[in-house]
Structures are given as structure tokens and as C-alpha cells.
Structure 1
Amino acid sequence: MHQLIASPFLDHFLVVRPGSTNGMKIGKGRFEELRSNPAVVPQWLADAARKAWGIEKLTSVMVREPAPLAYGRASWEINKGCDYDCEHCYLGLKRFEGLTWENKVNLLTVMRDSGALWLQITGGEPLIDRDFPAAYEYANQLGMMVSISSNGSQLSKPRIIEILTRHRPYLIAVSVYGATAETYDGLTRNRGAFGRFIKGLDAAKEAGLSLKLNIVVAERNVHEIEAMEALADSYGFPHQVFTSMSPTIEGGGERLGTQAAKFVVKREPFKGCNAGHTFFHSDPWGKASICKVGRDPQFDLITQGLDGLRQLGYVADSLQLRTGGCSGCTLSGSCYTCRPLAKLYQEAKAPLDTYCQHGGR
């Protein structure tokens, strides 16, 4: 397996190392030097690799070809199935279904060909998909920097820890739902879940994997915020606290009642994003959308390939237009919710103050 990856990334050229958050920017001339003779490691790169990553002998560099599209990142729900049944989950009904292995390979290849250097594999719970180890390994072979979003329940499984130590991920983002078994198991509605979560953290710590903990605050676990932060600190993992609950991706409002309303942190004004332009999302069936929230319309990457992605930029621009109750809003310049998310809140008949600053006036 390659030690480094040299790749175009948006308007730049980068050299990155799988499993490391360090990277370096290089000029087009040096990238073309690597591209013209990828089997030869120039001295300037060997010296830089020793300084940046401590690589004493650099022998293998994967040089990715420039892509016809300018995407830099992608995310993929390998499966919506999950071993938890969290009462706040935005996915709603979590069916365990998706692509055949052959089409998973096709999808990952399209993602590589789109230019995506960073790939997030998510779910449901991605680590319970039977094809996860093979898909994860193949994504690494294609020269993508892979991160994983997980509940951590499977991290101690031998086949999982083996593949993650052999091909180290860029990052594993693990959700935290409580600091005690009573609270954690209650929120996830899964007996014994807290024990498996702790075993997963222990295994990841021992293996030296790069973890970030996402502390999810709901009404059921709000009394353990400080304890959850202390748990993260005890492992030395960085953490972030999330207090806002979203409607389901179908626009259902049944999950909003789990929110700890008094602890919701006011969001910053929405200034736009590059969804659909520099990154995209795929569901378990290989249907691409601009992001995890704005899922309609979708394009089938298995049948359409890169041609499906070529339409996402136009879709992204159209989805950000203000419609319905937001048309002509005098506070639009300070709005803190993107239009696709606001649409879900409106469909869920959510209270105005959950997604609009009008509600707080």
C-alpha cells in the first residue's frame, strides 16, 4: 500500500499520508514531476516526508490523476441499518439494505473519478455492514483519505480493529449518548450498548486510532453533559457538543421532542456552503444528492456515473433559493438555517424558533 498520496484538490495540489491529519501543499510543477514518473521518489519529497511524518525511507507514492470534475470530498451512507434504535435519529426508518458488492465497487470508483480526495463513510452504523472491511480497504487502494462516522459499538471487533490498524483512517467520529449505562442504553434503546461503546473506545485508544467524540445532547441525557465531557477527556480524545435535533430526512417531526430545548446553542448565520459544488453525498443505493439534508432530486451514480454529478451544481443553487414562508424575508441576511434544512423543519411543522430567528424576536 502507498505511503503517501499526491493529488489535485480543488484549485491546489496536495501530498497527504493515509491515517494522518498532516499534509503539504505543492506547486503544479512538482505535482507534474511526480505524475510524469510516479515510480521515482524525488529527493525534495523524501526530505519533506521525513520532516512531516517521520518517514525514513519513502518508497511508494500514489499519484492521482486530475479529474474531469472538481469535487474534493464525498460522503456515503454504506447502509442505513443500525444496531441502535436512538430515539432522536434523523434517519427515521433504518432499513438494512443497499448495493451489491459489485456496485459498491462501481460507486467508490465513481467517487474517486469525481476528484474526491476525502471520503466519509457513514450510516446507520457503517461498521455493521458486511462489506465494510472490503469497501474501506478498496477506498484506501483508490487513494482516498477515509473518515468514518460510527457509534463505536463495533470498534473492539477483531476484524474491524485489524482493518483500521492496517489502513489507518483519517478520523473516526464517534457519537456519545451518555456517561452511564442507564442513560446510554436508554437513549439508544439497546441493552448493553454502553459496555460495547466503552470497549470500542478502549480498543481504539490501544490501537492509537484518531478519534473525535461527538457528544449528542438530548432531554434524556442532558444531566450528564459534564460527565460525557469528562469521559472524552479521560481518553484524551477531542470532543464537540451538539444540542440541536433535526427532523427526519423525510420531514417528520417525531424526533424533535427529544431535544433539550434549554441547552440549544444559537447557530451562526448561514453564509452559504459548497454542497453540490465541491462535495456531494450518496445514499446506500448510490443515489447522489448535494448533501445529507438536501436529498431531492437525486442522481443514480451506478447508471449515470459522472454525468449524474455534473447536474448537482445547478441543483444546489436551486435548492438554496428561498421559497414558501421564507420568500421575501427581511431577516434573510442573518438567517442561520440553510434552505434544505429549513424545508424539513417546515414540513415537520416545527416551532418557528427551532429554525428561524423570527421565533426569537
Structure 2
Amino acid sequence: MHDLITSPFQGDHLVLRPGSPKGLKIPRVKFVQLKAAVSGGEAIPAWLADAVNRSWGIDLTGRCAAGTVLVREPGPYEFSRATWEINLGCDYDCVMCYLGEKRFEGLDMTGKRRLLEVMAAAGVIWLQMTGGEPLIDPDFPGAYRFAHELGMQVEVLSNGSRLHKDHVLALLVELPPSKMSLSVYGATADTYDTVTGNRGAFERFTAGLEKAASAGLHLDLSLIITRQNAHEAEAMRAWAKRLALPFREYANLSPTIHGTAEPLPSQSPEHLTHRAPFTGCPAGVTFFHADPFGRASICKVGRRPNIDLIAEGVEGLARLGGIAGSLMLRTGGCTGCQLSDSCRVCRPMAKVFQEAKAPLHHYCQHGMREATR
């Protein structure tokens, strides 16, 4: 497996180390020089060996560039990031899950490899693998390894329920993710197991978290705060601080991807936060999402229209920018809204709330004003 990746990126050129969140920016002339060294079987240029030693503490002096550096070619569009739901199945049964019914279905391993090849050809450098729960997919090890072989920096979003298993941790230590984000659902067994609907889940999560932290994986924690665990919010924060791990809090829940409102009653009102005004995002422009069947959409929320990447390949992504533009139009109940310049949700998210017939105060400034009167 290669030690470094070099790739064009939005007018610049990068050198990355698999599994590391850090990177080096290099001028085009050095990218060309490095590419020539790889194709010509030459040694790693001295300037790169010095920079790598300073950044990552590894000595590549005198090493052959071929086999050490993987050269990524530019994609035909501007896409550099993607998320992929390898499946929607999960071993937890959280009532606040935005996925709703969590069916374990999708592409076989041949299809998964095809999808990853399309993503790489599109120029995707940073790939987030998620689910459902990605680590329970039997194809996860093969797909994860193949993404690394293609030169993608892989981030994993997980509930951490399988990290205590030696073969899972061994894979992640051998090929470290650039980041692994673990969801936390409570600070005690009673609360955690109740929220996840899985007896013994807290014990397995704790064991896996301690093993992953001890192994030096790049971890961060997502503290999911709901009515059921809000009384342990401070204990969850203290846990993250004790482990010296970065963490973020999520209390604002959304309807399911099917447009139903079941998760919303689980919100903890005192922990809800005001989103920043929505000023645009790269969805469908430099970023896209793929579901378990290889259908590309602008993001996890704006799932339709979508593009079948297995059938259409990279060329299908040419339509995604137009889809993004159409989905961002203020329509339906938002047409003519005088607060649109300060709206805190994107149009696809607002549409999901509207389809779920959610009260305005869950997502709209008008509703927030009414709720505080």
C-alpha cells in the first residue's frame, strides 16, 4: 500500500498521507516533478522527503517514488468529497433515527467496487463511509480497503458497537481512517441501552472506544442529546473531556428520510440550538452523497432526483449541479418568505419538515417567534 497520495484539488495540488488529517500543498511544478518521478521509477525528491519527515515523522529518503506515492488524476468535474451509505441496516433501534425503517440492502461487493471506482474517477479524495451502521456490513472490510487502494482518505461514521472486536480494530489500525466519528447516546448503561434499544450496547461501546483510543485512531465524538438522555448531557461531555477527544453536540433532530415525523418528539427542548443562517453549501457542486444502491444525490437530505452511478458512471454526475440548483429554490410554503435572507435551513431540509407536517418552530423563524410569544 502507498505511503503518500498526491492529487490535484480545486486549482491546487496536495500531498496526503493515508489516515492522517494533515496535508501538504505543493505548486503545480512540483506535482509534475513528483508525477514524473513515479512514472520514471526515480527516487523520492529531496524536497518531498524533507517535508514528509517534518509533517509526519517518517523517513522516505532514497525510497523509490513508484509504490510509495499514488498519483491521483483530476476528475472531470469539481467533486472532491462524497458520503456513502454502505447500507441502511443497523444493530441499534434508536427512536430518534432519521433513517426510519433501517433495511439491510444494497449493492453486492462487485457493485460496491464499481461505485468506488466511479467515485475515484470523479475526483473524490475524501470519502465518508456511513450507514446505518457501516461496520456491520460484511463487505465493509473489502470496500474500506479498496477505497484506500484507490487513494481516498476515508472517514467512518459509526456507533462503535463493533470496535471491541479484534478483527475490526486490526483493520482500522492497519489502514487508519482520516477520522472516525463515534455517536454517544448516554453516559450510563441504563440510559445508553434504553436509547439504542440494545441490551449490553453500552458495555460493548465503552470497550471499543477504549481500545480505539488506546490504538491512537483519530477519533471524535458526536453527543446525541435527546429527551431520554438529556439528564446525562454533562456526564457525556465530561466523558469526552476525560478521554481528551474532540466532541460536538447534536440535539436538533430531523424527520426521517421518508418524510415522517417520528424522531421529533425525542428532541430535548432545552438543548435545541438556533442554526446559523443558511448561506449556501457545496452539495451537488463539489460534494455528493451515494445511497446503498449507488444512487448519487446532492446530499443525505435532498435525495431526489438522483443519478444511478452504477448505470451511468462518472458522466451522470454532470447533471448534479442542475439538480442542486432546482432543489434550492424557495417553493411551496417558503415562496415569497420575507425572512428568506436569514433562513436557517436549506430548502431540501425545509421540504422534509413540511412533508412531515412538523410544527414550524422545529425549523422556521416564523414558528420560533410564535413559540416564544
TM-score of the superposed pair, with normalisation by structure 2? 0.95
What's 1:48 paired with? 51
Q: Summarize the alignment of residues 281-292 of structure 1 with structure 2, pairs less than 5 Å apart.
A: 281-292=289-300
Q: Summarize the alignment of residues 38-187 of structure 1 with structure 2, pairs less than 5 Å apart.
A: 38=38, 39-40=41-42, 41-57=44-60, 59=63, 60-187=68-195
Give the drift of 1:36.
Answer: 2.3
What's 1:26 paired with? 26
Q: Summarize the alignment of residues 215-254 of structure 1 with structure 2, pairs less than 5 Å apart.
A: 215-254=223-262
What's 1:7 paired with? 7
Residue 311 of structure 1 aligns to a residue whose secondary structure is helix
Unaligned runs of 5+ in 2: none
Q: Is the contact made by 1:290 and 1:315 (CA closer than 8 Å) also made in structure 2?
A: yes
Unaligned runs of 5+ in 1: none
Query: For 2:350 and 2:317, how far apart are their aligned partners in 1?
Result: 24
Query: For 2:69 and 2:257, how far apart are their aligned partners in 1?
Result: 40
Give the drift of 1:254.
Answer: 1.1
What's 1:35 paired with? 35
Query: For 1:271 and 1:291, how far apart are their aligned partners in 2?
Result: 16
1:259-280 CA-partner distances (Å, limit 9, x unpaired):
0012101110001001000010
Give the drift of 1:327.
Answer: 0.4
Query: For 1:17 and 1:222, how far apart are their aligned partners in 2?
Result: 39
Q: Is the contact made by 1:10 and 1:278 (CA closer than 8 Å) also made in structure 2?
A: no
Give the drift of 1:162.
Answer: 1.0
2:330 is the counterpart of 1:327: no
Q: Summarize the alignment of residues 311-322 of structure 1 with structure 2, pairs less than 5 Å apart.
A: 311-322=319-330
Q: Is the contact made by 2:278 and 2:343 (CA closer than 8 Å) also made in structure 1?
A: yes
- After TM superposition, the structure 1 stretch with the greater mean CA deviation from structure 2, 304-313 or 120-129, is 304-313
Query: For 1:10 and 1:126, how far apart are their aligned partners in 2?
Result: 29
Alignment equivalent of 1:307, drawn from 307, 315, 327: 315
Q: Is the contact made by 1:155 and 1:201 (CA closer than 8 Å) also made in structure 2?
A: yes
Give the drift of 1:360.
Answer: 2.1
1:181-207 CA-partner distances (Å, limit 9, x unpaired):
110000001100101110110110121
Give the drift of 1:11.
Answer: 2.3
The Cα RMSD (Å) is 0.9
Counterpart residue identity of residue 28, structure 1: R
Aligned residues with identical type, % of pairs: 55
Give the drift of 1:341.
Answer: 0.4
Residue 74 of structure 1 aligns to a residue whose secondary structure is strand
Counterpart residue identity of residue 10, structure 1: Q
Residue 173 of structure 1 aligns to a residue whose secondary structure is strand
Query: For 1:356 and 1:159, how far apart are their aligned partners in 2?
Result: 46
Query: For 2:11 and 2:168, how far apart are their aligned partners in 1?
Result: 35
Q: Is the contact made by 1:72 and 1:117 (CA closer than 8 Å) also made in structure 2?
A: yes
Query: For 2:107 and 2:166, how far apart are their aligned partners in 1?
Result: 25
Query: For 1:360 and 1:91, how far apart are their aligned partners in 2?
Result: 26
Give the drift of 1:57.
Answer: 2.3
Q: Is the contact made by 2:163 and 2:209 (CA closer than 8 Å) also made in structure 1?
A: yes
What's 1:274 paired with? 282
Q: How many residues align?
A: 361
Query: For 1:133 and 1:12, how far apart are their aligned partners in 2?
Result: 32
Alignment equivalent of 2:352, drawn from 336, 344, 347: 344
Counterpart residue identity of residue 13, structure 1: H
Alignment equivalent of 2:301, drawn from 293, 297, 315: 293
Give the drift of 1:37.
Answer: 2.7
Q: Is the contact made by 2:95 and 2:262 (CA closer than 8 Å) also made in structure 1?
A: no
Residue 30 of structure 1 aligns to a residue whose secondary structure is helix
Q: Is the contact made by 1:177 and 1:221 (CA closer than 8 Å) also made in structure 2?
A: yes
Q: Is the contact made by 2:84 and 2:291 (CA closer than 8 Å) also made in structure 1?
A: yes
TM-score of the superposed pair, with normalisation by structure 1? 0.99
Residue 15 of structure 2 aligns to a residue whose secondary structure is strand
1:38-74 CA-partner distances (Å, limit 9, x unpaired):
1431111011001111111253111111211221101
Query: For 1:66 and 1:262, how far apart are their aligned partners in 2?
Result: 47
Residue 315 of structure 2 aligns to a residue whose secondary structure is helix
